Structure 1
Amino acid sequence: MLSSGHPCRLTRRLAPRLAIQCLVALMLSCGLAAGHAQPLTPDNKTIVMVPMRDGIQLATNVYLPDGDGPWPVILTRTPYDKDGIDRSVAEYNTRGYAVVSQDVRGRYDSEGENQPFENDIEDGYDTVEWIAAQNFSDGNVGIFGTSAPGITSNLAAAAAPPHLTAAYVTVAPDSLFYRSRFVGGVFKESHSGGWLRGQGVSEEAINAYKARAVLDDQWRATDFLFHRDNVEIPVYNVGGWHDIYAEGSLHNFVYLQNDGNPQARGKQKLFMGAFGHGVLQGDLEYPGGGMINGDLEEQFRWWDYWLKDIDNGIMDEPPVSIYMMASARKGNVSDKNRVIHMDSWPPQNNKTRYYLQPDMGLSVEPPAVTDASKTYTFDPTNPVPTMGGQNLGADVGPRDQRDIGQRQDYLRFSTPVLQEDVVVAGHIDMELFVATDALDTDFVVKLVDIYPDGYEALILDYPIRARFRNGQNPGDVELMTPGAVEQLIINMWSTAQTFEAGHRIGVHVTSSNYPRFAVNPNNGAALDDSSTPAQEARNTIYFDANRPSSIVLPVVTAPLD
């Protein structure tokens, strides 16, 4: 049922876009993008080599339901081996969907060079339109994936192939540059570096990635952030608060729903659970918090609505569902941990500053003293160790920060014991007044839920590299002036957390978090300079009336139930 000359059914949205899209449409209509099938295997799988516009062929599995088609088709494109879906494809086929699973360029059985995500806009387009040209396809194509296959799904959607109808994307960022490779200008060592190594990328190439912390044309050409305005389809985004891409899942939904392409606006869905990119570590648990692979039944509701025109009510329900986290010690989980449904994100809130205090407290009242600060020595050879957080695969989740111990370069601030709940839901920033004796250094801030017994549950932890305090665009880079006081704005991403009465809100400040983030050598050298020796930095945090450092929490102002 694989056609070598079936004309492409460009029946929906083939309007003038890019010249290359027209070229691919022409290739398809002439049968030039047909694949060569191998015999069916016992599990009803056909293996096809599908050519891309440059002649590179990508290894592709086609799984067809019993009976006669055509059928709607669900596609996934993966660097993790196209055969991985063998175990679950029967569920899709039983429900009347053909499935296509493809090895991305340069991985497993596919031809070409392995350059992660750099060809997936064009390759995604070509694959979708190849599917639409086959006899087994009814012209409705959905795409799905988790993590890296979620990234390839977004990039395919950004190409706006005419036959791509809907997507279901789990834990994928809005930007590889800002969310995956660099955060606050700091390379995500254990996540991005570790993942690239797992994909067979050389250390030389990884070092080249690390040196590309300034936005360049290559990033713009391949990063979803700069192409998402082309997305014309409904996308169901699933994310987790402890996931590596939490903020990306939120931003993908918010942008497409409110500001995206007119054909996409108002058609998006979001679920934010309380899971991570791996099993949560630590002593907390979140019943009903979802899972990294999403909800299969919800996914099928999505496909049935958009690919089969079955009105099952999914689009009549609130577009946003979020898990509100609260006190969650294993065996003693508060009933304030729950899923909340709402019409938009974020909910109504009041941006409330909690100020660092000279006595190491944290208060909504600004400090009154005229001169207060704390100085510590940041030694790059002795970084603060990572203890949980939004990590990849290991050491994931709200671990107890007491395990870090007492260090002169690790400052803990906290509120008094809360007399009533503080419900936080939305984006968080840290406004930090600092000085250093180095040309460049890092600052790291953590938001912590402190339990009555002292357990310091990590909620968020984010850095900023001082040279990128004005941004990561060309021309933004500016080294520090030793001794000069600067205000840094640290993007702390977002959360939904109830700090319950009896708990305390904590803010921790330091200058490293390794291996979650690469360590700054403090020498101010060029990003590709590995020969200049690292040096210690004397870093100062200010918290007085003239330099009031504070974390800005979105405190919810109306009931969420």
Structure 2
Amino acid sequence: MKRSLLIIFCLVFSTLGSFAQRGGGDAAYVKEHYTKYEYQIPMRDGKKLFTSVYVPRDQSKKYPIMMDRTCYSVGPYGADKYKGSLGPSPEFLHDGYIFVYQDVRGRWMSEGIYEEMTPELEVHKTNKDVDEGTDTYDTIDWLIKNIPNNNGKVGVWGISYPGFYTTTALLSRHPALVAASPQAPIADLWRDDGWHNGAFFLVANFGFYPGFTNRQDDKPTQRRGGRFNPGTDDGYDFFMKMGPMKNTNDKYYKDTIRLWNEMMDHPDYDQHWKDRNVLYHLHDIKTAVLVTGGWYDAEDLYGAINTYKTLKKENPKTPIYFAMGPWVHGGWARGNGDHLGDVDFGGPTGPWYRENIEFNFFSHYLKGTPLKDDLAPVNTFETGTNEWKKYNTWPPKDAEEKNLYLLPGGKLSFTAPTGAADSYTEYVSDPANPVPFLDHKSMDMDREYMTADQRFLDDRKDVISFTSDVLDKDVTIAGNIWANLKVSTTGTDADFIVKVLDVYPDTASNNQYTGKDVKMAGYEQMVRSEPIRGKYRNAFDKPEPFVPGKITPVNWELQDILHTFKKGHRIMVQVQSSMFPLIDRNPQTFTDIMKCDESAFKKATQRIYTSKTHPSFLKVRVM
């Protein structure tokens, strides 16, 4: 789910199948070749869900159904008002499908009360036991029985929140559902969009809920939510002046947004969030699945990777496909996907995916066309070399686990430290002066931050770097990364953020996307970063304080990459304790951060140990 009103706008239109690069040609084609109908489809508990259906005017043959269930509106409303395009991409529109769009329960023109990430039930004893799985079952059943000239096969797709609804469609286990593609799906709201290992993603969430909250009752409406106006484009300054998290309500929302309050009331991974983790339910799936994500998805990278891994593990006999490209959130559905910020990916990647992976997948399972060779079990784009790679499983079986050690003197090596003394590097973390995550003003979670040059932090004393020697050969890391730090703090809580960087040689040349006043020579490209809120180091549902001065292990997952650090480059690992306002400030005292006052915020000295006795390292998989 995208936590920005600007990107909500983009998501709505990607969900509608509106792609900027196509211009207006498809709008005329839709009206000429499709007839639109609107229905209120009854669910088993009596609630009705608003559904738009676009049927090909050519009724000489039967068509499969492609469905998108969304919380972002199926508009435009009115049987005489048409979308500008239909389906995931132009290939579907021109090939002929019955396209179905549905407002999910409690959103827009559908009845019911909306639940964020509706808890899924394993057992449905009565008609009152409803969830997204039962709603999808009832919808599919009605469509198959009531829409003429369908061929009895249904496919579902969706990006972001609609990706979650695609995942839950699998839980319907309706026999007509033969293909589904969860794309950038939310899998675990606490982990995907809210708290990354307990650290709250502030700028991504704060401006989202006013626009998302168009209704909080059982009254269908076409009214949109209101935009929050911060009065500035300087997010760092705005959130510093806002103060502690409780001021989001004290100063702005005034306890009027139920979904925001649910986040503020549940900072721990308690039962509220566990009930909203769809991964627990992904068993006994017979439907063919294509999971799609982007290496630079700032919202739901976790959801894509772990939806695939869980489906593959729990359903070994089911066709499960995985596609990961060099994309931001939903970037494969619109645009070329040829660069991000200053980083060039060597050519268009989005169009190739849309035709050879996505269209290939649905056409095969819904229409019986032969599978093209491009659809391997795993299709992943290797950044650094800018090449597509095919594997049978992810991570690749021949990736070997190795430890990348943080060493004294700012060194980084696959060789373990040998010194007996407890060497360490320390820095002072000051909540009154947090490390910025961008080198420019913004009120948004600018997507380019995920590949951005980190040299703007060179003068910060609270960002420490460990750098390898110049590589004498390519080093390819494939799979997830685990940070294993030995730390101490003078406080009772602390955030730790680890960033993995690709440092370009001084001879690197600029490319066509290199920004003004940027030099790729010496560029410090972020490849992956991930925080942990230290009080959750042992359990996300049971926070516990640090003992000041005590050496303590803190381990967490940085998520997967497929990246080659090329010969002549260097690998750098940076450690810091703030990344503001991407992440809210940790007061560095053990407290409820969502409810505490400014008085709780204290400076603290953090130590990262680099000795043989207390080694700090990243566990990686090297090809």
Q: Quick check: 1:282–1:397 contact (8 Å CA) kept in 2?
A: no
Q: Which has the higher contact order (CA 8 A, sep 6+)?
A: 2
Q: What letter matches 1:460 in structure 2?
A: R
Where does 1:385-464 land on structure 2 (aligned, <5 Å)? 385-387=436-438, 394-452=447-505, 453-464=521-532
Paired position in structure 2 for 1:34: none
Q: What is the rounded CA distance, in whole Å, between the counterparts of 2:386 and 2:53 in structure 1?
A: 42
Map of 2:362 onto structure 1: 303
Determine which of 67, 72, 75 is the counterpart of 2:64. Answer: 72
Contact 2:356/2:374, CA 8 A, preserved across alignment = no
Q: Residues 447-467 of structure 1: CA distance to partner in whole angstroms, max 9, x if unpaired?
A: 000011321100011111111
Query: Structure 1 residue 346 and structure 2 residue 402: aligned?
Result: no
Distance 1:97 1:41, change over 3 A: closer
Change over 3 Å in CA distance of 1:217–1:230 after alignment to 2: farther
Counterparts in 2 of 1:550 and 1:345: CA distance versus 1, 3 Å: same
1:203–1:503 distance in 2 versus 1, CA, 3 Å: farther
Q: How does 1:16-165 map to 2 (within 5 A)?
A: 44-68=35-59, 70-83=62-75, 86-89=83-86, 91=90, 92=92, 94-118=94-118, 119-136=131-148, 137-165=150-178
1:223 shift after superposition = 2.2
Where do 1:256-271 residues align within 5 Å? 256-257=311-312, 259-261=313-315, 265-271=317-323
Judge which range, 430-439 or 524-533, deviates more. 524-533
- Alignment partner, residue 35 of structure 1: none
The CA deviation string for residues 408-441 of structure 1, in whole angstroms up to 9 with x for no partner, is 2111110111111111111111110101121211
Distance 1:292 1:230, change over 3 A: farther
Whole-Å separation in 2 of the counterparts to 1:289 and 1:491: 30
TM superposition shift of 1:554: 1.1
Is the Cα contact below 8 Å between 1:324 and 1:339 reproduced in 2? yes
Equivalent pair of 1:146/1:292 in contact (CA under 8 Å): no
Structure 1 residues 220, 138: closer, same or farther in 2, change over 3 A? farther
1:530-552 deviation digits (Å, cap 9, x = unpaired): 33632222211111121111112
Q: Would the aligned equivalents of 1:51 and 1:58 in 2 still touch at CA under 8 Å?
A: yes
Q: Contact 1:78/1:103 (CA < 8 Å) preserved in 2? A: yes
User: Do the aligned partners of 1:73 and 1:99 also contact (CA within 8 Å) in 2?
Assistant: yes
User: Unaligned 5+ residue runs, structure 2?
Assistant: 1-29, 77-81, 119-130, 215-255, 332-336, 506-520
Cα RMSD (Å): 2.7
Alpha-carbon distance in 2 for matches of 1:364, 1:164: 48
Distance 2:183 2:524 in 1: 29
Distance 1:175 1:403 in 2: 33
Structure 2 counterpart SS, 1:229:
coil
The residue type paired with residue 324 of structure 1 is E
**Cross-structure match for 2:308:** 253
Q: Which residue of 2 aligns with 1:548?
A: 615
The number of residues matched between the two structures is 500
- Cα distance in 1 for partners of 2:352, 2:203 equals 22
Moved more, 339-348 or 176-185: 176-185
Offset at 1:292?
10
Identical aligned residues as a percent: 30
* Alpha-carbon distance, 1:289 to partner: 6.0
Contact 1:77/1:101, CA 8 A, preserved across alignment: yes
One-letter amino acid of the structure 2 residue matched with residue 199 of structure 1: F
Paired position in structure 1 for 2:378: 320
Gap regions ≥5 residues in structure 1: 1-39, 327-335, 557-561
Q: Which residue of 2 aligns with 1:27?
A: none
Please point out which of 470, 476, 499 is paired with 2:538: 470
When residues 232 and 190 of structure 1 are mapped into structure 2, their CA distance, relative to the original with a 3 A threshold, is farther
Which residue identity does 1:447 align to in structure 2? Answer: V
User: Which residue of 169, 190, 195 corresponds with 2:182?
Assistant: 169
2:291 is aligned to 237
Counterpart CA distance in 1 for 2:410 and 2:352 is 41
User: What is the Cα deviation at residue 307 of structure 1?
Assistant: 1.6
CA gap 1:211/1:448 in 2 versus in 1, 3 angstroms: farther
| Aligned match for 2:430, one of 379, 404, 414 | 379
What one-letter code is carried by the residue in structure 1 that aligns with 2:135?
A: D
| Offset at residue 497 of structure 1 (A) | 0.7
1:206 matched residue in structure 2: 260
- Assess if the C-alpha contact under 8 Å between 2:154 and 2:176 holds in 1: yes
Evaluate the alpha carbon distance shift between residue 460 and residue 197 of structure 1 in structure 2; reply closer, same or farther with a 3 A threshold.
Answer: farther
For 2:539, give the aligned amino acid: G
Aligned partners of 1:199, 1:292: CA distance in 2, in Å? 30
Supply the distance in 2 between the matched residues of 1:121 and 1:464 (Cα, whole angstroms): 32
Question: Following the alignment from structure 2 to structure 1, what is the Cα–Cα distance between the partners of residues 184 and 462?
Answer: 33
Code of the residue aligned with 2:100 in structure 1: it is V
- The answer on whether the counterparts of 1:213 and 1:472 sit within 8 Å (CA) in structure 2 is no
Q: Closer, same or farther in 2 for the Cα pair 1:354/1:297, shift >3 Å?
A: closer
Q: Deviations over 1:473-527 (max 9, x none)?
A: 3xx3222111111111121101011101111100000011122222212221135
The change in CA–CA distance for 1:111 and 1:141 in structure 2 (over 3 A counts) is same
Q: TM-score, normalised by structure 1?
A: 0.82
CA distance in 2, matches of 1:338, 1:109: 44
- Tell me the TM-score normalized by structure 2: 0.75
Query: 1:213, 1:363 → 2: CA distance?
Result: 36
* CA gap 1:519/1:64 in 2 versus in 1, 3 angstroms: same
